Structure 1
Amino acid sequence: MAAASVCLMLALAVPARAETGLDCFSENKDLWIPGCTALILRPGIEPEQLSSAYAMRALGYSLKGQYDTAIADYDAAIRINPDFAVALNNRAWAYFRSGRPQQGLADVEKSLKLNPLSEHSWDTRAHIRQAGGNFTGAFDDYEKAVQIGGERMIRLYQCGLKENGLYNGPVDGLYTTEVRGALRTCAKTATCDPLPADEQCRAATS
């Protein structure tokens, strides 16, 4: 009975949380869109928080494959804060995922200037370079992502390279000669993605 009461209390709390915008930065990605919408509509919100709310809602849309809607929200976030490195990188990624990689190149390059220690931005530029046929540049960027991101990034690539049939070793976060060779081979093909599509694999590496 007590457990049922707790569940009911949580269920009743969800609308209140959404109305106040608390869910915008929740760990539950399904709450980002309603939570951030509530925050965006709140009167008197500070510009920095408004920019972050647009960027988080954009990420929510992007994860659902609604890239045009996501890009519109990233546009709003970046208009408020033109030096928002994460939003710039994520807009570049949304352009890439929507089949317009070159439109994201300027964004990710600005993001890298603002924060050259983001493995995600190096990975984004690697994907964009690879899609454009700059295979050497793509491999260099993937290696930079590995250098900065370390074990977690290596595990992601190991998973993705396994899915592509290019790597048969363990997913252990070690950047071995075999992993490096598989990553180089992948980077030479415009259609090969070293990031895993398998959500279980992604979860195991996070």
Structure 2
Amino acid sequence: MKHIFTVIIVFFLFCPVSVFAETNEISAKDMAKKWFEKGLKYDIDKDYDKAIEAFTKAIALKPDYAYAYTNRGFAYYNNGQYDRAIEDYDKAIALDPNDAEAYNNRGVAYGVKGNMDRAISDYKKACDMGNELGCRNLHEVLQNR
């Protein structure tokens, strides 16, 4: 009888902890999504410094948020911070190798920096994934070579 009573007490002691941990995790994901959405709004408003801040907060809450890296890279690019943009696109691609937008955007950043071989490689990868903008960029670069 004492054994059953002990098991019940232990169950009730640890049950709320696991529920709390799960709720905390959901809350972090929800907050990351809210910061991500704020970042998108700042991007639309062309307030890239605030967009970078918002995407950075989303990433801090959810470090595997590939699309937040892609979008922060876009904000860095629009701020003229091409190396930081490339770093974020690299991270996005490492987290999600099927992120065609990250390949295309990284290609654009490489192109601006004059590294056309890397740009072409990224455009081709994006195009192979069905990204129309990547295909157009690839076609344009190859025509102008």
Give your verdict on TM over 0.5.
yes
Contiguous gaps of at least 5 residues in structure 1: 1-43, 162-178, 189-206
- Give the distance between the partners of 2:67 and 2:51, measured in 1 at CA: 14
Bigger Cα Rg: 2
1:145 and 2:126 are equivalent in the alignment: yes
Taking the aligned partners of 1:95 and 1:129, their CA distance within structure 2 comes to 13
In structure 2, C-alpha distance between the alignment counterparts of 1:184 and 1:136, rounded to whole Å: 10
Asked if 1 retains the 8 angstrom alpha-carbon contact of 2:123 and 2:134, the reply is no
Q: Distance in 1 between matches of 2:27 and 2:121?
A: 39
TM-score (normalizing by structure 1): 0.54
Give the distance between the partners of 1:74 and 1:80, measured in 2 at CA: 10
Q: Which has the higher helix share?
A: 2
Residues 1:106 and 2:87 are matched in the alignment: yes
Say whether the 8 Å CA contact 2:124–2:134 is kept in structure 1.
no
Find the partner of 2:41 among 24, 35, 60. 60
Larger relative contact order (Cα-Cα within 8 Å, sequence gap ≥ 6): 2
Q: Post-superposition, which runs of at least 4 consecutive aligned residues in structure 1 deviate over 6 A?
A: none
Structure 2 gaps, min length 5: 1-23
Report sequence identity in percent: 26
Equivalent in 124, 128, 134 of residue 105 of structure 2? 124
| CA RMSD in angstroms, aligned pairs only | 2.1
Deviation of residue 51 (structure 1)? 0.3
Q: How do 1:1-206 residues align onto structure 2 when only pairs under 5 Å count? A: 46-148=27-129, 150=130, 153-154=131-132, 156=133, 180=139, 182-185=140-143
TM-score, structure 2 normalization: 0.75
Q: Which residue of 2 aligns with 1:168?
A: none
Structure 2 letter corresponding to 1:184? L
SS of alignment partner, residue 109 of structure 2:
helix
